[in-house]
Amino acid sequence: MVLIKEENIIIEDIKEDDLPDVVEIEKEAFSDPWTIDMFYSELFNPISLFWGVKDISGRLIGYISFWRVVDEAHVLNLAVHQSFRRKGIGSKILLTSIDYCKREGIKTVLLEVRRSNKAAQELYEKYGFNVIVVRPRYYKNPVEDALVMALEL
Ligand SMILES: CC(C)(COP(=O)(O)OP(=O)(O)OC[C@H]1O[C@@H](n2cnc3c(N)ncnc32)[C@H](O)[C@@H]1OP(=O)(O)O)[C@@H](O)C(=O)NCCC(=O)NCCS
């Protein structure tokens, strides 16, 4: 499914062929990255939405995955390739997801973010997410608190 097609980017479903590129971005973006098997299983998970952003040449530059659980969406992964950050790509994919959730009647979007990850927190706050609870020592490698952020639609 194609979500967005513009002059410079396209947002569409991630396919199996895209997974090596997903993992490359993931490894660079996170200290406790998901493996290719974890992403692969999302392709067959009926509650999972998994979308990639590609540039005009077809190169994968970012992705998001989230689960839809009744009237809630849970964001699992969101990352943009390091060379393409601060160009609005993260915003584009997040806003595309929020629009989809609104259309689908989802009431709340939830996610976890490391306490030290100020860039992601700024992104989420910019689009209306608030911290609702802290999960102490939620992350490993390194151990760190998670801030649970929510957006009411
Ligand atoms: C978080 C991330 C997805 C943002 O993607 P991006 O394409 O750079 O984001 P955008 O260009 O759309 O930025 C939108 C807003 O986010 C905030 N933001 C993004 N990067 C930031 C940074 N390094 N420092 C502070 N604020 C930042 C700003 O408010 C920015 O708005 P502005 O450019 O008008 O100031 C990207 O930094 C990334 O992939 N990080 C590693 C993976 C990660 O942390 N994912 C989130 C896990 S919860």
| Section 140-147 average pLDDT | 97
pLDDT one-digit tens code per residue, 30-76: 999 999 999 999 999 999 999 999 999 999 999 999 999 999 999 99
In the chain, where the domains are located: 2-152
Residue 79, ligand 1, Cβ within 6 A:
yes
pLDDT band at 150 (very low <50, low <70, confident <90, very high): very high
- C-beta 85 within 6 A of ligand 1: yes
In the chain, pLDDT over 90 holds for what percent of residues? 99
Q: Look at residues 94, 11, 95 and name the one whose alpha carbon lies nearest to residue 52.
A: 11
| Distance, C-alpha 4 to centroid of its chain | 16
Using one digit for the tens of pLDDT, what is the confidence trace for 103-126? 999 999 999 999 999 999 999 999
* HSE of 85, CA atoms in CB hemisphere, 13 A: 12
Output the residue whose Cα is nearest ligand 1's atom 16: 123
CATH topology of domain 2-152: Aminopeptidase (3.40.630)
At 115, list the tokens.
């306490």
Give the pLDDT score at 23: 98
Alpha-carbon distance of 86 to 80, in angstroms, equals 9
Nearest CA to ligand 1 atom 15: 123
Task: Provide the pLDDT for residue 22.
Answer: 98
- Under 8 Å between Cβ of 65 and 25: no
d(CA 44, ligand 1 centre) in Å: 29
Which atom of ligand 1 is least distant from the CA of 94? 12
Q: Residue 105, SS3?
A: coil
